[in-house]
A and B are shown apart, each in its own frame.
Chain A
């Protein structure tokens, strides 16, 4: 049976054999990360393309339509066709833009979210870099998107874009707080910030954290949706109000980078949710007889969570900017603090001092 660790061993064994053949074994330490990054990038690109297709299909069937069905089987290659279109089309730029920020913003938006993938454990040992402060790292690095969006909004020199940028700044800063607070109970229980460590704790404990921490899960999903600027929290790009919001003036490849960034943000936050609350690569208890490899379980859970996020988008109306702030500060933050308090008390009662 393949597991994530086996695959990693086989591949790295093959790579080192190949290095030895070519005679660059000494450089292995330098080349390995490059290869990992390329593989990661390829995987994420394909997965995001699949997600875009999935979103279209999900929304289509929710609205009793068919969705893409022309390019490739079931329209699977539609995203590829769109990507080709976006990369080959003319890059229309506003004359009075602020040139350097205008150029940098989409790159930052893309890279910031993409970097989050580094610490996601797809399977036991199948992780690019298992940082011992993984959660902290993810929260920090995804927070960079606000800079990108604010920069994009400002440098486009467009009134709608600027409004979108400001909205985004207010929104992302507000929703970082409940996002972090909702994760705190789990860190308290497990005593580790490493994502793999949290999954291993769930394995030993024999339950997933969604069961004791359902409130935290709901808060996390909600704030993660807001962090990724997805509907019903998509006020920075609110189509019916601000046309395109911060990316009104972006076209071609630059727009594609914002677009990809949004989807990668969804993947990252859903992956974190799967890791923290749904047991990461652990098999689903009553389907354990299937003996699937861990990363397949992980992907199944990931797609389910992403479906939930998509269903939100295609069902709910959009909140207004001040209601969004109200919701964040008056509902999510008090609830998550209460959740921390209750978790801590219960834990103290059950296990006494120094429970680990």
Chain B
């Protein structure tokens, strides 16, 4: 495997001075790759000639495992596909299963799902902001991001008992109703959080060094983005409206007011701006959802054993924190999916890395990789 990849990279160039190309392994253990992603980087001095991502260090064959688990049991594995945004993946699978089995979750459950998915988007974007800033050398925003994320996780733990792998959004509803003081605590958090976004923007957005590092770096042109299947905030940074929440509204996203955040430049800074604006939009969605929350059941009426119809198949998609999260399921009349496939945003976003970094410097690999918001378990699954 390694030999094959190295032979593709071709050590030894044709420079007239007889110099060699400089092949550097970034990862799998490297401070900036957010996990075990390995990049074989071919350098000419500081300039990058080629970046070859080597995947599979975190492959746990979740899709295959899902074929041997019942539909509710699969949800526990979806937590681990994208552990930074587990609620979204929970819901992506639950939505596909519900469509497969014609289950309609009650209204309260839907609003609760929206609240938790948007809170999760905040948590994920906060972690992304910190890690992105850390990649380009500013260490303090990481701590700020984690500080606020802790409070979101406190809300999650209060409700479902876990901080990372929730298993909260279930087929046909949610695991458990919120506690009576959840709404007031959530609003208190939002009031605390909104001024903090301004603080992050003070710290980063117009910082001249940050602008130098991100403006004009790693430009995804709209054509390149669509051809490579880039999605989510990374594509919206290139000026393409691709928010599944707007295009194919699921849950009650058609009943709340929010703007789709689009920037046109397509560089790292635009992607940063998109995510920062999305945080503000998420806050507004949560506020509206909390107002619309009404008492009611949280679980649909379902048979004790959930079985998909024979020869049924479904592809459903949602907007996870990283982009379009698609779930493809094939039912064979039993309680277990015949085939489960997850279409993860990180994997398709990573595809453009080579094109974006060619001709740029080593440090830009980190900036671009950070701005794409990649999570290794989602790449490898």
Contact = CB atoms under 8 A, between A and B. Distances in A.
Nearest to A327: B212
Given A317-B213, A318-B136, A238 B24 contact: no
Contacts of B203: 315
Given A63-B144, A231-B137, A314-B139, A321 B207 contact: no
A240 B136 CA distance: 7
A317 B200 CA distance: 13
B19 to A, nearest CB: 13
6 contacts: A232-B209, A238-B363, A315-B203, A319-B213, A320-B361, A321-B363
A151 to B, nearest CB: 19
Contacts, number: 84
B213 A315 contact: no
A322 B365 CA distance: 14
Contacts of A286: none
Contacts of B24: 159-160, 163
A107 interface: no
B135 interface: yes
Interface string A170-185: 0000000000000000
Interface string B3-30: 0000000000000000000101000001
Interface residues of A, number: 30
A204 interface: no
B293 interface: no
Contacts of B144: 63-64
A63 B133 contact: no
Majority secondary structure, B binding face: helix
Contacts of B136: 240, 317-318
B137 A240 contact: yes
A321 B361 contact: yes
Contacts of B147: 64
Contact of B31 (A232, A239, A315): A239
A279 B147 CA distance: 41
Q: Which 9 residue pairs across A and B have the least CB separation, nearest first?
A: A318-B137, A63-B143, A240-B32, A317-B138, A317-B137, A317-B136, A320-B363, A317-B209, A240-B135
Given A159-B24, A322-B46, A240 B366 contact: yes
Nearest to A65: B143
Contacts of A318: 136-138, 209, 213, 363
Contacts of B140: 59, 62-63, 314-315
A52 to B, nearest CB: 16
A318 B147 CA distance: 23
B143 A323 contact: no
B143 A235 contact: no
A241 B133 contact: no
Nearest to A159: B24
Contacts of A241: 32, 362-363, 365-366
B149 to A, nearest CB: 13
B212 A319 contact: yes
A233 B292 CA distance: 51
Given A64-B147, A238-B363, A321-B363, A316 B135 contact: no
A214 interface: no
B362 A163 contact: yes
A243 interface: yes
A323 B212 contact: yes
A59 B142 CA distance: 12
Interface in A187-205: none
Given A63-B143, A231-B137, A320 B22 contact: no
Contacts of B210: 317
B364 interface: yes
B134 interface: yes
Nearest to A322: B361
Contact of B30 (A232, A243, A321): A243
B143 A64 contact: yes
Contacts of A166: 45
B364 A320 contact: yes
Contacts of A322: 46, 361
Interface in A300-353: 314-323
A319 B365 CA distance: 14
Given A62-B140, A319-B137, A321-B361, 19 more contacts: A63-B140, A167-B46, A234-B137, A238-B137, A241-B365, A242-B362, A314-B140, A316-B137, A316-B209, A317-B136, A317-B204, A317-B207, A317-B210, A317-B213, A318-B136, A318-B137, A318-B363, A320-B364, A322-B361
A150 to B, nearest CB: 15
Given A315-B138, A315-B203, A243 B31 contact: yes
B193 to A, nearest CB: 15
A159 B41 CA distance: 12
Contacts of B207: 316-317
Contact of A317 (B31, B32, B133, B143): B133
A320 B143 contact: no
A44 B137 CA distance: 29
B22 A159 contact: yes
Nearest to A243: B31
Nearest to B47: A322
Nearest to B133: A317
A173 to B, nearest CB: 16
Nearest to B144: A63
Contacts of A319: 137, 209, 212-213
